[in-house]
């Protein structure tokens, strides 16, 4: 099933960057995130995935907290699509995400940035800059759990594109 997917010998390479407000530290969630990040990178190479990276920012303080965090996210994003996780967004299925990743590869994008906000959500600048605003569901999630879910879904999306048995729809 991997034909035409921009395999390791192909020119198309895609870097996935996750910008996250809040530090994971030495938590069980951080360990889980690391596991899925490593799996996605390892299996994703044959698809054309170069790297999956998480960059963390400390939570800002004060009344303009979301705006300060938004400045950090906007300043750190890479050229290419910006996917913002927000409770007001459109839900994507695992298959939708897999299809989007393939589309980004086919379109020649080198980078896709995902943004996970802090406790007060995203500032308007991030929401306005977003190419896609995506919801992980109607429940409020701790940001570390949202990060783990996103990384698992990125791994799952890669396995879907490759026909790997991890995803059994």
Q: Write out pLDDT tens, residues 93-133.
A: 999 999 999 999 999 999 999 999 988 889 999 999 999 99
Domain range for 134: 14-162
3-state secondary structure of 99: helix
Residue 107 belongs to domain with CATH number: 3.40.1280.10
DSSP state at residue 58: P
Token couple for 23: 């530090």
- 108 inside domain: yes
Residue 1 CB neighbour total at 10 angstroms = 9
Binding-site residues from annotation: 85, 117, 136-141
Q: List, in sequence order, every residue forming a beta bridge with 147; answer none if it has no partner.
A: none
- 126 inside domain: yes
Q: List, in sequence order, every residue forming a beta bridge with 29; answer none if it has no partner.
A: none
Residue (of 115, 134, 145) closest to 24 by Cα position: 145
- 65 inside domain: yes
| Whole-angstrom distance, CA of residue 169 vs CA of residue 166 | 10
Q: What CA–CA distances, in Å, run from 149 to 61, 116, 156?
A: 26, 11, 10
- 57 inside domain: yes
- 70 inside domain: yes
Binding-site residues from annotation for S-adenosyl-L-methionine: 85, 117, 136-141
Domain count, the chain: 1
**pLDDT digit string, tens, across residues 129-156:** 999 999 999 888 888 999 999 999 999 9
- 168 inside domain: no
Predicted TM-score (pTM) of this structure: 0.88
- 167 inside domain: no
């Amino acid at each position: 099933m991997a034909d035409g997917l921009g395999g390791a010998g192909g020119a198309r390479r895609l870097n996935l960057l996750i910008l996250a407000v809040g530090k994971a530290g030495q938590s069980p969630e951080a360990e889980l995130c690391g596991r899925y990040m490593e799996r996605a990178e390892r299996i994703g190479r044959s698809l054309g995935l170069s790297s999956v990276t998480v960059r963390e920012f400390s939570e800002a303080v004060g009344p303009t907290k979301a705006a300060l965090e938004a400045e950090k996210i906007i300043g750190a994003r890479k050229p290419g699509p910006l996917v913002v996780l927000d409770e007001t967004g459109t839900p994507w299925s695992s298959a939708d995400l897999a299809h989007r990743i393939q589309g980004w590869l086919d379109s020649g994008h080198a980078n896709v940035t995902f943004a996970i906000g802090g406790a007060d959500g995203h500032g308007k600048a991030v929401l306005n800059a977003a190419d896609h605003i995506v919801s992980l569901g109607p429940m409020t999630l701790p940001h570390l759990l949202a990060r783990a879910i996103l990384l698992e879904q990125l791994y799952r999306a890669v396995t879907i594109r490759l026909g790997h048995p991890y995803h059994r729809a």
